[in-house]
A and B are shown apart, each in its own frame.
Chain A
Amino acid sequence: MTVQTQFQTGAQAAALRQSGASVKMVAKDVKVFYGAKQALKGIDLEIQENRVMALIGPSGCGKSTFLRCLNRMNDTIENCRVEGLIALDGEDVYGRQIDAVQLRARVGMVFQKPNPFPKSIYDNISYGPRIHGIASHRDEMDEIVQKSLERAGLWNEVKDRLREPGTGLSGGQQQRLCIARAVAVSPEVILMDEPCSALDPIATAHIEELIDELRENYTIVIVTHNMQQAARVSQKTAFFHLGEMVECDDTEEIFTNPRDERTQGYITGRYG
């Protein structure tokens, strides 16, 4: 609870309130170590509710590492250590109050490569709700599956073959299936780690449209190496470089009027 007061009395928080969005997640001085190697060097960032935040930067800059801190996916990596504060609705996600399993139900994730389970489409979607005990009977589950697939824009394509394996879909469909799978557990935040990097342009366009629609109900953080994509889908953009967060601002600002010369160098394609 100390966190909440700390940020809400801060000047930044006041500024944000003025912009009309409330803060969903906050990171403060986040450092990540893999063994002796430091991957993140103190990240401060705020993620606003019902907005899309894009994390951009050259590969190896730590943007994916940061993303994986937000729902404690880094817990599964041996000898990975996280320092600093990450809060969801003002609660420290690494604190005692929040359990990793509970956290991941609230902060879902979509991965770089589509990773449908080797099960039927229906079972892929129903897996999350089933382990969390969300649906109490079959009709409820059917409804969740249908709604999730509809939200992911996949329902019409697969409604006649829900019993077929999810691995039989095309790459773009698989990724939308993974999004539907994440949506099915009703998360508050969805983290997307370069969700289109393995997809062709048409499938990418599909996913980008979908992200824009999902913004209505969810807070989204997307990591991308594609600057056009960041410009198209996000409202806020943060630029990462060598384990540091260089700057974070409205997307338009970042792309038209970057303050830091490293950002400018990156978005104008001098390196990356």
Chain B
Amino acid sequence: MSAGNSRSLYQSDEFATRLQRRYAAERRFRMIGIAAIGMATLMLVVLLGSIISKGYTAFLQTEMRVEVTFDPTDVQERNYAAILRRGLYAQFPDATDRASRRALNDLLSSGAPFALEDMVRQDPSLVGTTRTVWVLADDTVDQFMKGAISRDTPESQRPLTDAKIAAIDALSASGALSTGFNTTLFTSGDSREPEQAGIWGAIAGSAMTLIVTMLLSVPIGVAAAIYLEEFAPKNRWTMLIEVNINNLAAVPSIIYGLLGLAVLLGFFGMPRSAPLVGGVVLALMTLPVIIITSRVALKSVPPSIREAALGIGASPLQSVTHHVLPLAMPGILTGTIIGMARALGETAPLLMIGMVAFIVDVPQGFTDSATVLPVQIFMWADSPERAFSERTSGAIMVLLGFLILMNGLAVFLRKKFERRW
């Protein structure tokens, strides 16, 4: 083992070949690492790609131009469907038999007469006149126009008959069909008819739920964090609270749903499907996250700040409220936003407390029946219609948009107020 020996040892050919093998192993290991990251990236791309490619058409909607005469008797009897039908049939003078007329009727959304009714209610002078209106086309027409229904599939296997396709072709040739931005998606609540279904009700429900969550979890969470980090004596009880909080953070979300069902609905008799209950459940779920991140933020304020405040005669509470808390605020805010983003995307516990009901109306108050965006996605995902699966992807894009916005805000705050001690 003398120096002379070792020189030959590490400069031998044997060592050189071994070294080559070791470097090959090194490269392999590195490749595995790159492959792992590549795999994660690939999955992200496939996931987002599949949703965007399926979903971007949800923001478009086909409308049909119909020339309608607001016949006074029909208006009187609120028979707007008849008004529409006459306008539609006028474009197809050849279609006189029942079957072909029924086929034509199917091209219009079942909600189209209500649109006419709304027009008349807003402007009664329309009665007796003839106007050109654009109304929603049926979702099958919409899907056909977007190319989701191919005319090459056998007639028995597609939702549109040959006759309907011929009618659509005629309409579209005469410029009576146009595809534009889908405002319905953003202005109406849920519906059984895909072309009338929107996410506004779900967005409003999400907003209300999130407001309740925030009002409860932020003050309580921050207060708890301040107590545990700044004032609590280090004894068994505070240890218990700490362990408890850490474990609550890892409890499956569905358990919080069970808690809400048994305690809030069962014991306190709160209303089912209400944003208030959803908000309370999500607040309990987010609380540990907010406590933990707030504690981290408080902990990162160096003790010298506290000592400085105490040294000039501030009480412990004053030192915290005047100095420590403002310095920890960006961190607390970031944690809060991330917690809220998680609450916004949460689904499972809300299923338990009945927010999964089919609700057409946009909720007006915190105790109204409502649903939230992720649950709306869940419900639409179950619907067999192609138009609904397109809207599901569209709704997911909106949800992800909100989440990106919130997380972006958190990142911005962190970058802007980042402080190194």
Which residues does A use to contact B, with CB under 8 Å? 49, 89, 99, 101-102, 105-106, 131-134, 147, 183, 186-188, 217-219
Contacts and interface: CB of A to CB of B under 8 A. Distances in A.
B6 interface: yes
A131 B5 contact: no
A102 B19 contact: yes
B9 interface: yes
Given A147-B1, A186-B6, 18 more contacts: A49-B3, A101-B19, A102-B10, A102-B15, A105-B10, A106-B10, A132-B10, A132-B18, A133-B14, A133-B15, A133-B18, A183-B1, A186-B5, A186-B9, A187-B6, A188-B6, A217-B1, A217-B3
B157 interface: no
A101 B22 contact: yes
Question: 6 smallest A-B Cβ distances: which pairs?
Answer: A186-B6, A188-B3, A186-B1, A133-B18, A105-B10, A106-B10
Contacts of B14: 133
Given A99-B19, A101-B22, A134 B9 contact: yes
B153 interface: no
A102 B14 CA distance: 12
Nearest to B7: A188
A132 B11 CA distance: 12
Contacts of A131: 22
Contacts of B1: 147, 183, 186, 217
A133 B11 CA distance: 13
B235 interface: no
Contacts of A217: 1-3
Contacts of A105: 10
A263 B394 CA distance: 75
B6 A106 contact: yes
A238 B309 CA distance: 49
A89 B19 contact: no
B165 to A, nearest CB: 64
Contacts of A101: 19, 22
A30 B70 CA distance: 95
Interface string B1-31: 1110111011100110011001000000000
A49 B6 CA distance: 14
A172 to B, nearest CB: 24
Nearest to A189: B3
Q: Which of B1, B5, B9, B14 has the most CB of A within 10 A?
A: B1
Contacts of B7: 89, 106, 188
A87 to B, nearest CB: 14
Nearest to B18: A133
A106 B18 CA distance: 16
B6 to A, nearest CB: 4
A133 B14 CA distance: 10
Nearest to B14: A133
Contacts of B2: 217
Nearest to A217: B2
A177 B6 CA distance: 21
B10 to A, nearest CB: 5
A186 B12 CA distance: 14
Contacts of A133: 14-15, 18
Interface in B156-212: none
A183 B1 CA distance: 9
A183 B18 CA distance: 21
A8 B7 CA distance: 20
B247 to A, nearest CB: 28
Contacts of B19: 99, 101-102
Contacts of A99: 19
A186 B18 CA distance: 17
Contacts of B10: 102, 105-106, 132
Nearest to B11: A102
14 contacts: A49-B3, A99-B19, A101-B19, A101-B22, A102-B15, A106-B6, A106-B10, A132-B10, A132-B18, A133-B18, A186-B9, A187-B6, A188-B7, A219-B3
B42 to A, nearest CB: 28
Nearest to B3: A188
Contacts of A188: 3, 6-7
A218 B22 contact: no
A99 to B, nearest CB: 6
A18 B18 CA distance: 40
A134 B14 CA distance: 10
Contacts of B5: 186
Nearest to A134: B9
Contacts of A187: 6
A67 B130 CA distance: 94
Contacts of B3: 49, 188, 217-219
A99 B20 CA distance: 11
A147 B5 CA distance: 15
Nearest to A101: B19
A114 B7 CA distance: 27
Nearest to A105: B10
Contacts of A102: 10-11, 15, 19
Nearest to A106: B10
Contacts of B6: 106, 186-188
B11 to A, nearest CB: 8
A99 B22 CA distance: 12
A253 B15 CA distance: 42
A21 B19 CA distance: 32
Contacts of A49: 3
Contacts of A219: 3
A131 B6 CA distance: 15
A102 B23 CA distance: 12
A89 B4 CA distance: 12
Contacts of B9: 134, 186
A5 B171 CA distance: 93
